[in-house]
Amino acid sequence: MRKFDKKKWKPAVNRELSDPLLRQCCLKRGGITFAEVTLVDDPHPRPREIDGIRFQSRVRKLETWSADDPTQFREFRDLLCDARRNHRKVEVIEVSPMIDRGTIGQVVVASWLLEQRKVKVRKVIVCQEAGVALKEFLAKHDIEVWSPSHCDK
């Protein structure tokens, strides 16, 4: 198993419950994940922060998004272009200890923003626990639920 690089990740303010879930998910699933991403073409007057955007990769990395980092911006852009060109799905991750309407709305809108860039998207909600009925409902709407207690994926 490759080393998990999180030296460019810093826990967010007021996210003591969500940050450990995101870190656990990224550690288990691997890939390159950018946390707290704000997309420049978000049409909302106050652009949302996407909890995580994960790209499939042999590299295992979690880092906090910084719009001021040109190297990171280039890496993100290149990974997005590669995913689009090679028809690879990009995961849009929303993290919430308990799933609610806001969590579902965030993952749906964040996915839509990336789909506008012609990128295939997998919607993922990371939570502490979810009931079988809720997981089945979300699966019907192409939303995967990941939790540490059911980390078979």
CA-to-CA distance for 50 and 37, rounded, in angstroms? 5
Q: State pLDDT tens for residues 68-119.
A: 888 888 898 899 999 999 999 999 999 998 898 899 999 999 999 999 889 9
pLDDT of amino acid 153: 44
> Which residues constitute the domain of residue 34?
4-150
In this prediction, residues 122-132 reach a mean pLDDT of 92
Domain count for the chain, please give it. Answer: 1
Q: Which residue has the tokens 């295992």?
A: 60
Tens digit of each residue's pLDDT (9 = 90 or more) over 25-77: 999 999 999 999 987 777 777 777 899 999 999 999 999 988 788 888 889 88
Please, which residues have CB within 8 angstroms of residue 146's CB and are 6 or more apart in sequence?
Answer: 25, 29, 124, 125, 126, 127, 153
Residue 43: predicted pLDDT: 76
Q: Which amino acid is at 11?
A: P
Q: Determine contact, residues 108/123, Cβ cutoff 8 Å.
A: yes
Question: Where is pLDDT greater, at 70 or 122?
Answer: 122
For the stretch 53-89, what's the b/e string if a residue is b when 16 or more beta carbons lie within 10 angstroms of its beta carbon?
Answer: bbbbeeebbbbbbeeeeeebeebbeebbeebeeeeee
